[in-house]
Amino acid sequence: MQGISDEFIPAIVKLDELSAIIAVDDGDAILMAQRLARELGVGVGISSGGNIVAAVKAAQLQLREHPGRTAVIGTVLCDNQTKYLSTDLVRKEPVKENYLTPDLRFEGFRIGHGKPVISSFPASF
């Protein structure tokens, strides 16, 4: 993703302390950011779209590893779309077979502690 995948890892990030690294395709992140804006009126950047896709992947992993349980996953929508208005965020993004975004359906949207809270679920796991 623009600004993330430039292979620079700040010293503050302790890779050995992470339980997992979740990969997200640039295109899937773009599609998610576009959907958030189009369907929910939440104008976010590409990294926030990627955060939502990664959160769904984390939930899928938890549900596969612990069938019959529920998963609560949190993420941050850390930017807005204004600095991306001349980038791929505003272009039509082709959908690839492995993308999650086309199969997600938004189930809810509410304000929590003054911030938007979005519930999204894949059509199937």
pLDDT of 22-64, one tens digit each?
Answer: 999 999 998 999 898 888 888 888 888 999 999 989 988 888 8
Residue 118 lies in a domain: yes
CA atoms of 121 and 73, how far apart (whole Å): 12
Mean pLDDT value across residues 61-71: 86
Q: How many domains does the chain have?
A: 1
User: What tokens does 90 get?
Assistant: 């505003």
CATH assignment at residue 29: 3.40.50.1100
Please provide the average confidence, as pLDDT, over all residues in the chain: 78
Q: How far is CA 95 from CA 22, 31, 100, in A?
A: 20, 8, 10
Q: Are 104 and 31 in contact (CB under 8 A)?
A: no
The angle, 0 to 180 degrees and rounded to 10, between the axes of the packed helices 46-65 and 26-40 is: 100
Residue 2 lies in a domain: no
User: What pTM was computed for the model?
Assistant: 0.74
